[in-house]
Amino acid sequence: MLFADPLFGLPSWVDAIIRVVIVVMVMTIVVVYLTVGERWVVARFQQRLGPRKTGPGGILQGFADALKLVTKEDIRPTNADRWVFELAPYATFIPVLMTLMVLPFAKDWGVRNLALGLFYVFAILGLNIVGIMMAGLGSGNKYALLGGVRAAAQMISYEIPLVISLLCVVMITGADMGGGVGTLNLNVIAALQEDRPYIVLQPLAFLIFFTAMLSELHRAPFDIPVAESEIVGGYFVEYSGIRWSMFQLTEYASMWGFSVFGSVVFLGGWAWPFGVDAHWTVQLGTTLVKSLAFIIAIMWMRVTVPRLRIDQLMNFSWKVLLELSFVQLIVNGFILLYGWPQELLALTSGIGAVVLIALIIRHSTAKASKGLVGTYRTLGSTPQ
């Protein structure tokens, strides 16, 4: 359950506390730079400069923002349910913090190396919804309630394709370990990808994972629960000051956590392409570069794709992603059961990925004939 040896031969609980403190400090720095980094990336995409004034090139902007947030007044509406309202930010943040405890950042670098690491991540992340619903119900605000309902419906729906796409990878670890018994240990999953990352074998599962991840993170185009222009911020509309910044911290920390998690499961984590015996600085650098690539892809999606409607979102999850992930699981099962070569996995999953992308492109370029947009189009074309 533990990593090979506690740091400096200390008792295991002291070792655990040291590791937790290190991870929390790194997380804080990463979150501070993600908030300002997102503004830089979005500015670049929109041909602006972004924040450049605080410190050389704007590198102190994140700290200035953090200082501003903690000194702002913390307002609680009289209509709010006091304890539910005040505890909601913590209930949202703690599950995210707990998932960071099992992520391997390099070989034997992490807080704890659980045998059930992958299962742990999505079991604990499921508790995240509770905090969001507490915020939605406790604020005493209709917008917050709407945001909470939307968040819950969306996160529950997308959890299923997310878990199935991860199971597809776990099935392949069974073939890699020999004997058909797979592993849920994130460290072992990363080490098994020394020669090729699993994204090569499972591009469809990766696409499903990435989409479901965007939805779990409430990032655009799935930011329906927090849509500013519809429900002015969703479940955290009533929060201000330090509690609002707790929600921001949760959002960016879970974005980073999901990025590291996705890079471990699909991109080879610390093991690919430099091997399991590379120096720890190289392995740590590999993980950071991969998670950064993930984060930039998430931001890229945000500035490229407009927000979906809630019915489009639900249809996409239940009518497209769920079926494709089941098909992927069944095809994997046949190939692995009969011991067919792994190239076949890459081929079938690649075909599935192409089908998914073609489906998305076809839908996004099709002209609407129904709904609001379709009505406007037909109105314009009919002679007056």
* Chain contacts with other proteins (rule: CB under 8 A): 13, 79-81, 83-84, 114-116, 119-120, 122-124, 126-127, 129-130, 133-134, 136-138, 140-142, 145, 148-149, 152-153, 156, 181, 184
Residue 320: strand, helix, or coil: helix
Query: Which residues, in sequence order, are bridge partners of residue 17?
Result: none
CA 163 from centroid of its chain's CA atoms: 13
Q: How far is the CB of 120 from other proteins (least distance, A)?
A: 6
Q: Which ranges of 46-76 would DSSP assign to H, the alpha helix?
A: 61-71
| Count of C-beta atoms within a 10 Å radius of residue 49 | 10
Gap between the Cα atoms of 177 and 163, Å rounded:
21
**103 or 134, CB closer to other proteins?**
134
Cβ neighbours of residue 106 under 8 Å, at least 6 residues apart? 270, 280, 283, 284, 287
**320 or 356, CB closer to other proteins?**
320
**152 or 297, CB closer to other proteins?**
152
**99 or 291, CB closer to other proteins?**
99
Q: How far is the CB of 32 from other proteins (least distance, A)?
A: 29
**127 or 288, CB closer to other proteins?**
127
**81 or 108, CB closer to other proteins?**
81
DSSP 92-117: HHHHHHHHGGG--SBTTBSS---TTH
Task: Retrieve residue 294's tokens.
Answer: 């993930």
Q: How far is the CB of 112 from other proteins (least distance, A)?
A: 11
Q: How far is the CB of 137 from other proteins (least distance, A)?
A: 6
Q: How far is the CB of 142 from other proteins (least distance, A)?
A: 7
Q: Is 42 exposed, middle or buried (0-12, 13-18, 19+ CB in 10 A)?
A: middle
User: Could you tell me the CA-to-CA distances from 225 to 23, 152, 301 in Å, in that order?
Assistant: 29, 9, 17
Q: How far is the CB of 48 from other proteins (least distance, A)?
A: 39
